Structure 1
Amino acid sequence: MQVAGVALVGAGFIADYHLGALRRLPGVALRAVVSRDAARARACADRFGVPDAGTSLPRLLARSDVDAVLVATPDDTHEAVASACLEAGKAVFLQKPMATDSAACRRLIALAAARSLDLQVSFMHRHFEEVEAARHWIASGALGTLNSVRLRNATPGPDWGGWFFQAGRVAGGVVLQLGTHGLDLIEHLFGPVMAVSARTATLVPRRRLASGEEVVVENPDSAWATYRLASGAVVSHEMSAVEAAGCDRFRMEIYGTEGTLWLRTERGRLAAFAPRRLGARGWFMPALPEAPLGERHHRRWLAGLTGAAPREETAQAGLRGLLIAEAIARSSAAGGAETAVDAT
């Protein structure tokens, strides 16, 4: 079996998701964790049995036993860190959002192509079992013609780092920090977004972090967007980082002429109402396989990295998400006017 040497740059909240999944999978050797904070890097490495930890990215990139680097640093550092990795000949698995603007996404895609290196963006939700099942339901025609979709991404918001609320570090606020998951699911499941009508707002202008520090919120913490798809269907998308309870990762309702699918709602992870397909009226909750969080996601990434399966095109999806987010910002600035999404 081909073994991929993998290192992580960034030892924050999301590091546990990536390393927790990778350490369970065959065909991967976790080599090192790098962070600006040496103690945090060491603690993260020890937690997952990673042998090396440090603060030097150049030292990491000089290692011949590192084939790929997971980049899980703050949003405004993504382009610089990912570019350094690609320049050093390493494949890159980049935490979402891909970058702070679409121009940076294009530069990263061009650099990876010039070096013939794998560049992927981490979109965890598309690998949930219920999302994969929904894709099959939609492709099979069980729902008939798709008419509309309702999608919510909502959390209480991050309280572990003030940088999340700085406009210069998190472009788009809630849209790129949280809504980007939904943007990926929409095009992954339903096809291209052609135009957007949107409003954004900052509903809670000051936040108190878990540390007790109070910060000023410089970017939107709430957004409401309506997307017109190339298929003619319409999607309503709510994004909030100010809800006390939020939702379970996301909530999605899919409505077609012949049936309905609900994902991650009070009816469970997946519920279908499709009388013609099922032969009876009423809701059907299919059994779904259970896998540890992140296992399907990272198994798929490794398969593409090692050549065991075709690579996903998540970098292109990452660019698309930025283009839609930029259209949301333009639409909101224009009072909610319908705004075209720039061509890829």
Structure 2
Amino acid sequence: MSFAPMDVVRWGIIGCGNVTEVKSGPALQRASHSSLVAVMRRDGAKARDYAQRHGVPTWYDDAQALVDDPAVNAVYVATPPSTHKAYALMAIAAGKPVYVEKPMAMDAAECQAIIDAGRAAGVPVFVAYYRRALPRFRRVRTLLESGAIGAPRSVHVSLHQPLHARYADPAASHWHVQPAISGGGLFMDLGCHTLDLLDWLFGPIVTSKGLATNQLGAYAAEDSVAMGYAFASGLVGTGLWQFGSFRYEDRIEITGDRGRLAFATFGDGPIELETAQGSESFVEANPPHIQQPLIETIVAELRGEAGACPSTPEAALRTAWAMDQVLADWRRATGQAIGR
């Protein structure tokens, strides 16, 4: 890394909303050699409230003011995707490493713009695909690498959810299902986690095709997605994301020539291994502040220590590209294409 190593990483958060309350904000404070020194939200009263509740010394209602604060030497962008590119470029222009929430941006082109800016300025960029650092998924990767199921042959993803009340009123739809803010629907918000995880386990997806539709009419974005994909190794996969189901189901199933692994993307239930010799379960609890393991790798990299953060912007770009392929026809047909 050409960027000069830091002693202590002093974070500023742009967008101190719900995701930062437990998942990430406290993790920035609890990681070694890391501190949270400033937060920003356009609603100054909410920024002040967050700062007071979390013991953060400084708050702002202007992003540029936070980025320009000399006490801040790294920026975490935790706003909705529609502003990720603008705020990431702002931090990069100031020479400050940036940690961007997932999905990295509205589409692959915006991801590439952030990557290009970071490379040109010599400023590190990281993305919040934190499952790459969680113990439960490291266990999955270890099982695969040990040959527990032999050679992987296929992957199937299922994520089914009942319609949540917060998405049911078209007049007050949450930003997650407003394409102009999120880039799509819940497939964008949740599907990206699973596709990034598969990238980490098996390498890049090189073929991605799919169908998206809206079955419920509860909001403008897609609510049902079917996807087919393939990896460079020849491994093939399918996925179904449906957000109007009668019950919740969250499952990734990997079938090999000697066994099968099954586990959830979002839950922390057991990892199930089935082979001709029988069945076995593995339990790995998630940490209370779920982004902390990944944040610790970012801090270590910024300090110049051995190892590197496993969630790179290049990997996030690959996930964005795969999702773009799936949603391309839907975006064109509905006029929801991302504009720049």
- For 2:303, the aligned partner's letter is T
Residues 254-312 of structure 1: CA deviation (Å, up to 9, x unaligned): 1100111111399932121234xxxxx22112353663233212212222222223243
| Cα offset, 1:222, TM superposition | 1.8
CA RMSD of aligned residues (A): 2.5
Residue 212 of structure 2 is aligned to residue 200 of structure 1: yes
Aligned match of 1:327 in 319, 325, 328? Answer: 325
Match of 2:225 in 1: 223
Residues 37-82 of structure 1: CA deviation (Å, up to 9, x unaligned): 1111122222321111120222212222211111011111111111
| Cα offset, 1:331, TM superposition | 5.8
Check the 8 A contact 1:130/1:263 in 2, yes or no: no
Residue 295 of structure 2 is aligned to residue 298 of structure 1: yes
Supply the distance in 1 between the matched residues of 2:53 and 2:165 (Cα, whole angstroms).
22
Q: Are residues 43 and 153 of structure 1, via their aligned partners in 2, closer, same or farther at CA, if it must alter by over 3 Å? A: farther
Match of 1:317 in 2: 315
Structure 1 window deviating more from structure 2 (317-326 vs 125-134): it is 125-134
Aligned match of 1:166 in 178, 185, 197? Answer: 178
Aligned match of 1:80 in 76, 80, 86? Answer: 86
Q: How does 1:262-281 map to 2 (within 5 A)?
A: 262-264=262-264, 268-275=269-276, 281=277
Q: Are residues 333 and 125 of structure 1, via their aligned partners in 2, closer, same or farther at CA, if it must alter by over 3 Å? A: same
Aligned match of 2:99 in 93, 97, 109? Answer: 93
Q: How does 1:1-344 map to 2 (within 5 A)?
A: 2-16=7-21, 17-155=23-161, 156=163, 159=166, 162-206=174-218, 217-243=219-245, 245-247=247-249, 250-264=250-264, 268-275=269-276, 281-288=277-284, 291-292=287-288, 293-308=290-305, 309-330=307-328
Check the 8 A contact 1:75/1:170 in 2, yes or no: yes
Which runs of no fewer than 5 residues in structure 1 stay unpaired?
207-216, 276-280, 336-344
| Cα offset, 1:123, TM superposition | 0.6
User: Which secondary structure does the structure 1 equivalent of 2:270 belong to?
Assistant: strand
Supply the distance in 2 between the matched residues of 1:32 and 1:290 (Cα, whole angstroms).
27
Supply the distance in 2 between the matched residues of 1:31 and 1:244 (Cα, whole angstroms).
44
Q: Are residues 45 and 267 of structure 1, via their aligned partners in 2, closer, same or farther at CA, if it must alter by over 3 Å? A: closer
| Cα offset, 1:332, TM superposition | 5.7
Match of 2:170 in 1: none
| Cα offset, 1:154, TM superposition | 4.3
Identity of counterpart residues, as a percentage?
29
Check the 8 A contact 2:205/2:231 in 1, yes or no: yes
Q: Are residues 204 and 289 of structure 1, via their aligned partners in 2, closer, same or farther at CA, if it must alter by over 3 Å? A: closer
- For 1:286, the aligned partner's letter is F
Residues 8-45 of structure 1: CA deviation (Å, up to 9, x unaligned): 11022211211122222221111111000111112222
Supply the distance in 2 between the matched residues of 1:267 and 1:289 (Cα, whole angstroms).
6
> How many residues are treated as equivalent by the alignment?
318
Supply the distance in 2 between the matched residues of 1:313 and 1:114 (Cα, whole angstroms).
20
Supply the distance in 2 between the matched residues of 1:163 and 1:91 (Cα, whole angstroms).
27
